[in-house]
Amino acid sequence: MNNSIAFWTIVTKEVRRFTRIWPQTILPPAITTSLYFLIFGKLIGDRIGPIGGVSYIDYIVPGVILMSVISHAYANVVSSFYSTKFQRNIEELLVSPVPNWVILAGYVSGGVVRGIMVGGVVTIISLMFADISIAHFGISAVVFILTATLFSLAGFINAVFADSFDDIAIIPSFVLTPLSYLGGVFYSVAMLPEIWQKISLVNPILYMINAFRYGLIGVTDVDIKLAFLITGCFIVVLSLFSLYLLKKGIGIKT
Amino acid sequence: MKALSIRKLTKKYNNGFEALKGIDLDVDSGDFFALLGPNGAGKSTTIGIISSLVNATSGSVTIFGHDLQKDRERAKTCIGLVPQEINFNQFETVKHIVQIQAGYYGIGQKEAKQRTERCLRQMDLWTQRDTVSRRLSGGMKRRVMIARAMVHSPKLLILDEPTAGVDIEIRRSMWELMEEVNKQGTTIILTTHYLEEAESLCRNIAIINNGQIVEHSDMASLLNRLNIDHFVLDLAEPIKSAPHCTGYQIDKISDRSLSVGVPKEQGLNKLFEMLTAHNIKVISLKNKSNRLEQMFMDLIGSSAAEQS
Ligand SMILES: Nc1ncnc2c1ncn2[C@@H]1O[C@H](COP(=O)(O)OP(=O)(O)OP(=O)(O)O)[C@@H](O)[C@H]1O
Ligand SMILES: [Mg+2]
């Protein structure tokens, strides 16, 4: 069995899917983030002083980019895998000799590619508003990929358990978006009262956003090593859990 | 070598329903095998287990010597499945559906394209290759699934009601195709509710009812066991009541038609002699039901009687 062919088949299929429906997958983040930069960055930001020694608009760029990566990596895998399940077209994979880990890797990579595409578009837009010279390219790239991987995995698990199209909207609306906003996209946690600073530290997204901000503009609220450790642990745990779900056939076999 | 060997297979669905109650089934390599049974008998459940879509509750399945539990990957490579219900991506084009499936079996892109073309041409779908699959007609959708199942040249092709909802012309060409594929060495397992289809194509047969195999033999000897044939006679003139002919069971269907049960050892000659003696003129005669259908009804009927 040639696993790399099967892997690339899944990835190409996934990329073809979201590029085919680009007005739903690529265009909306371009529009919303332009608005973020325009309203929060330019109009309001000009009246807010610098944070951590950088202008407000520069400060929010990393968070806005990463927030779009998080939501799109997640959305890609959850909607693709759920509709594959819903149309029963997951059966094409189940009857074929593709090992579970290749299925998982394929779908997650699809999510990562969507994250890269959307993140890229948002980055290009941000350059029209902000003046970013990347501080640590390697760190930025690794945080970017790890974050996209983590949320693709989370989207996969959501899809496995989802029983209706409603079920795939719950986590993004009630968990991901609030945690992203509260993860310090638009502010530094240092600006919060002490108790809220402590509470913010249990939010994993805070670490990723700050690590990415460190990579791009060299400013962070948290320890970068801790951020990598937390992200890495999440990826390992979610991967193992996904493989367990596939092995048991939860949600996909009767 | 056995293409498929099933032992003591059971399936209890999550809701507690026992769809398979310990079935044994053997299909020889190269066979053209019919798996028949009424709605809800357990055919698709059996096929689902063989093709890894349904988890078995207990029992074993071996495909070309590969145990499904211990050697699932190799077992899977041997199988091509045409499922009962449409299960391809409705937004994908016909060509991509088949190509993607080839990729899942580890076939590289260049070869996958060639094989896709061959299978689509064979299924008379080449002109539809760039059509988004949801725009296809029902019969075309079914053919897409056959093309998809054959793209990796499986040794065992399983077709779950492939000819349901397919027009006569396409059905005939599907029969030819299946026979051709079978002649080239592919083992075929077919389920269908058109029994004349099974009778003319298949060499061996199993009938499943209520999750149990009620018959497992070769077609010829099964049909041989039918010792009474039923015919319908159309008459030239209306009659008042059914005539009495010793050795035959005759019933009046309408004024101008009779149903006759003809035991094998009696034959037809004597019947016509007697009818002529009664001054009854027969214009035409036809089989009341297809022979396999009759056998089928008998078997299903007797197993239902045992149950109650
Ligand atoms: N997921 C499921 N959960 C519970 N019961 C099921 C499930 N799938 C099938 N069954 C039941 O199992 C029995 C066998 O179903 P199966 O689909 O194998 O029948 P079949 O022989 O293929 O029938 P048909 O000719 O209608 O396709 C039926 O009574 C059906 O209701
Ligand atoms: Mg069925």
Cα separation, B171 vs B161, in Å, equals 11
* Predicted pLDDT at B199: 87
Query: Are residues A91 and B106, on separate chains, in Cβ contact within 8 Å?
Result: no
- Closest by Cβ to A5, choosing from B55, B89, B107: B107
Is ligand 1 within 6 A of the CB of residue B104?
no
Instruction: Output the domain CATH number for residue B163.
Output: 3.40.50.300
B107 contact A CB<8A: yes
pTM, full prediction: 0.88
Predicted interface score ipTM higher than 0.85: yes
Instruction: Provide the residue range defining the domain that includes B131.
Output: 2-223
**Is residue B238 located within the same domain as residue B191?**
no
Helices A56-86 and A100-129: angle between axes, nearest 10 degrees: 150
Is ligand 1 within 6 A of the CB of residue B99?
no
* Predicted pLDDT at A139: 95
Cα separation, B179 vs B163, in Å, equals 14
- pLDDT averaged over every residue in chain B: 91
Question: How far does A89 lie from chain B, in Å, by closest CA?
Answer: 5
**Is residue B24 located within the same domain as residue B149?**
yes
Instruction: Provide the residue range defining the domain that includes A155.
Output: 2-248
Q: Which residue pairs, CB below 8 angstroms and at least 24 apart, start in B267-272?
A: B271/B245
Residue B297 Cα, ligand 1 centroid: separation in angstroms? 20
Report the pLDDT averaged over residues B238-247: 88
* Predicted pLDDT at B202: 95
- Final residue before a domain boundary, out of B223, B249, B266: B223
The residue among A44 and B71 whose pLDDT is bigger is: B71
* Predicted pLDDT at B305: 59
Q: Which of B93, B81, B91, B84 is nearest to B148 (CA)?
A: B81
Question: Per residue in B288-308, pLDDT tens?
Answer: 766 777 777 777 776 665 555
**Is residue B203 located within the same domain as residue B271?**
no
Query: Are residues A92 and B104, on separate chains, in Cβ contact within 8 Å?
Result: yes
In a domain, A254, yes or no: no
* Separation of CA B103 from chain center: 29
Number of domains in chain B: 2
- Final residue before a domain boundary, out of B199, B223, B247: B223
- Closest by Cβ to A96, choosing from B54, B96, B104: B104
Number of domains in chain A: 1
Is a pLDDT exceeding 80 seen at residue B146? yes
According to the per-residue pLDDT averaged within each range, which of A164-178, B3-17, B239-253 is highest?
Answer: B3-17
Longest dimension (CA), chain B: 75
Q: Which residues of A touch B14 (CB under 8 A)?
A: 254
Interface probe for A, chosen from B86, B96, B100 (most Cβ of A below 10 Å), is B100
The β-bridge relationship of strands B18-28 and B212-218 is: unpaired
DSSP result, A32-78: HHHHHIIIIIIIIGGGSPPBTTB-HHHHHHHHHHHHHHHHHHHHHHH
**Is residue B24 located within the same domain as residue B153?**
yes
Q: What are φ and ψ of residue A8, in 5° steps?
A: -65, -30
Among chain A residues, CA nearest to B83: A91
* Predicted pLDDT at A53: 85
* Predicted pLDDT at A169: 87
Is a pLDDT exceeding 80 seen at residue B241? yes
**Is residue B207 located within the same domain as residue B239?**
no
pLDDT band at B195 (very low <50, low <70, confident <90, very high): confident
- Final residue before a domain boundary, out of B206, B223, B240: B223
Among chain A residues, CA nearest to B56: A254
Q: Which residue pairs, CB below 8 angstroms and at least 24 apart, start in B62-70?
A: B62/B2, B62/B4, B62/B5, B62/B6, B63/B3, B63/B4, B63/B156, B64/B1, B64/B2, B64/B3, B64/B29, B64/B155, B64/B156, B65/B1, B65/B2
What is the full per-residue pLDDT of chain A (254 aa) written as tens digits?
689 999 999 999 999 999 999 999 889 999 998 898 888 888 888 888 888 888 888 899 999 999 999 999 999 999 999 999 999 999 999 999 999 999 999 999 999 999 999 999 999 999 888 888 888 999 999 999 999 999 999 999 999 999 988 888 888 888 988 898 888 888 888 888 889 888 888 999 999 999 999 999 998 989 999 999 999 999 999 999 999 999 999 988 88
**Is residue B181 located within the same domain as residue B295?**
no
* Residue minimizing CA distance to atom 16 of ligand 1: B42
Instruction: Output the domain CATH number for residue B242.
Output: 3.30.70.1560
With a pLDDT cut of 70, the percent of chain B lying above it is: 97
* Sign of the four-CA dihedral A17, A24, A252, B15: negative
Q: In the sheet where B18-28 sits, what is the strand order? A: B18-28, B2-12, B58-63, B66-67
* Predicted pLDDT at B289: 67
Q: What are φ and ψ of residue B34, in 5° steps?
A: -105, 130
Report the pLDDT averaged over residues B60-79: 96
B82 contact A CB<8A: no
Residue to mutate (ligand 1; options B18, B25, B45, B212; most atoms within 8 A of CB): B45
* Predicted pLDDT at A52: 82
Q: Which residues of A touch B79 (CB under 8 A)?
A: 95
DSSP 8-state assignment for residue B155? S
Q: Which residues of B touch A92 (CB under 8 A)?
A: 87-88, 100-101, 104, 148
* Predicted pLDDT at B306: 58
Per-residue CA distances from B222 to A32, B128, B179, B215, B299 (Å): 70, 42, 21, 9, 11
Which residues partner with B80 through β-bridges? B157
Is a pLDDT exceeding 80 seen at residue B176? yes
